[in-house]
Amino acid sequence: MSHTRHFLLGLAALALSVCTANPARAAEPIRIGVAGAHSGDLASYGLPTLQAVRLVVEEINAKGGINGAPVELLVEDDGCKPEIATNSATKLVSGGAKAVIGHICSGATRAALPIYRAAKVLVISPSATTPALTQSGEYPYFFRTIAADNTQAANQVEFALHTLNAGKIAVLHDKGDYGKGLAEYAQSLIEQSGKAQVVLFEGITPGAVDYSAVVQKIKRSGAEAVLFGGYHPEASKLVGQMRQKRLAIPFVSDDGVKDDTFIKVAGKDAEGVYATGPTDVSTNPLTKAYREKFRQAEGTDPGAFFDNAVAAALALTNAIAKAGSADPEAVAYALRTEEVATPFGAIKFDTRGEPVGIGFSIYQVNNGQFVQVR
């Protein structure tokens, strides 16, 4: 009985697959998932990336798809919430996604990755910067088109040691995941270099009414530069109080500070402050072309991570084309070996999945504007 049933079922399945596969062979679409925050308070991070992927895919489909197969997008909104991201991932996997562009937030990405790993789905994130995602080695099919947080710390330390020639450095952070992570990484890099010492390593309380005690402590430590990991509200208070207490040493911070609000709020105290931020690529012709397309479609300037998402979509589709299939092993190999032209210039990926060719630069506030210094 059970044998017959299995046999019949198998036969039926076979018939079904023959039925569906045959006529569809010419145009079996390649399904690519897009996951990120498309609603809620972090939608401003997710929506530009969705638009970017759509623009690239429309273009590819207009040219006849990848090796003749059209690209179909499966869009999932995870609201940047880890608990929703696991659902989104499950939906994308069961919907037949061969690869996923996303997720947007590091926390959501981390939550979703085990599901993709189990399903052998390749993931390429335009914006998740937590170092462990690639550097833990747990996710061989994870790539990103943004530099990891610790790249920033490496840039800052390099700059403080070799350009500012600081021998004593105070490292401060806001006790948050992002700021503290950066600060700890910077601390270990400074200590490894042997060229300078960390004379002070402290967390400050975000939102506190006064930072003068910690400023006095920096002064006493004899630091020749301050590295701060955190966001602009604390940075502007800290710089303001440093200048108030006649402490004129350089202040180097991160892309949480490289924000025009920082300059607006800190005013004249912002002058001369250094901050790392993504390298300016606005003169690259590819960048200009995609930003212009976005403007025509939406009527506004593209938001955060737009360029990164364009790069992710271009890299992924190029790799699928070069690999000749959407098999994750082959695509991953192509991503690592084939250079592709993106808004950041020609990029490829290293063995861990980090982009080679996308990085951070140091900016300095000069007359109320961030100017790239190197």
Partner 1 sequence: MEYFFELLFSGLTRGSIYALIALGYTMVYGIIGLINFAHGEMYMIGAFTALIVSSVLTIYGLPLPAILVLTALAAAVWAGAYGFTVERLAYRPLRNAPRLAPLISAIGMSIFLQNYVLLAQTPDFVPFPTLIPEFAFLEPYGGIVGSSDLVILAVSTLVMAALTLLIKYTRIGKAMRATAQDQKMALLVGINVDRIISLTFVVGSALAAIGGLLIASHIGQINFAIGFLAGIKAFTAAVLGGIGSIPGAVLGSFVLGLTEAFATGYVSSDYEDVFAFSLLVLILIFRPAGLLGKAAVEKV
**Binding footprint of partner 1 on the chain (CB under 8 A):** 175, 202-205, 207-210, 212-214, 216-217, 219-220, 232-233, 236-237, 240, 244-247, 261, 264-267
Residue 206 vs 357, nearer CB to partner 1: 206
Query: DSSP per residue over 334-357, as a string?
Result: HHHH--EEETTEEEEE-TTS-EES
Nearer to partner 1, 25 or 246 (CB): 246
Q: Which is nearer to partner 1, 50 or 266 (CB)?
A: 266
Smallest separation, CB 214 to partner 1 (Å): 5
Q: Closer to partner 1 by CB, 18 or 209: give it.
A: 209
* Closer Cβ to partner 1, 76 or 174, answer by number: 174
Residue 94 C-beta: closest distance to partner 1, Å: 37
Helix (H) and strand (E) counts in the chain: 13, 15
Return phi, psi of residue 266, to 5°: -80, -20
CA-closest candidate to residue 171, choices 233, 226, 124, 236: 226
For β-strands 30-36 and 99-101, DSSP reports them as parallel
What does DSSP assign to residue 163?
A: I
CB-wise, 233 or 302, nearer to partner 1? Answer: 233
- Rounded to a whole number of angstroms, the minimum distance from the CB of residue 243 to partner 1 is 10
What does residue 75 show for φ and ψ, rounded to 5 degrees? -105, 130
| Cβ 240 to partner 1 shortest distance, Å | 5
* Smallest distance from partner 1 to CB 172, Å: 9
What spatial distance separates the first Cα and last Cα of the chain, rounded to whole Å? 75
Least distance CB 204 / partner 1 (angstroms): 5
What DSSP letter does each residue of 266-323 carry, written as one string? HGGGGTT-EEEEEPP-TTSHHHHHHHHHHHHHHSS---TTHHHHHHHHHHHHHHHHHH
Residues in the chain: 374
Given the complex with partner 1, which of 120 and 220 has the nearer CB atom? Answer: 220
| Residue 209 C-beta: closest distance to partner 1, Å | 5
- What is the distance between the alpha carbons of residues 251 and 243, in angstroms, rounded to a whole number? 11
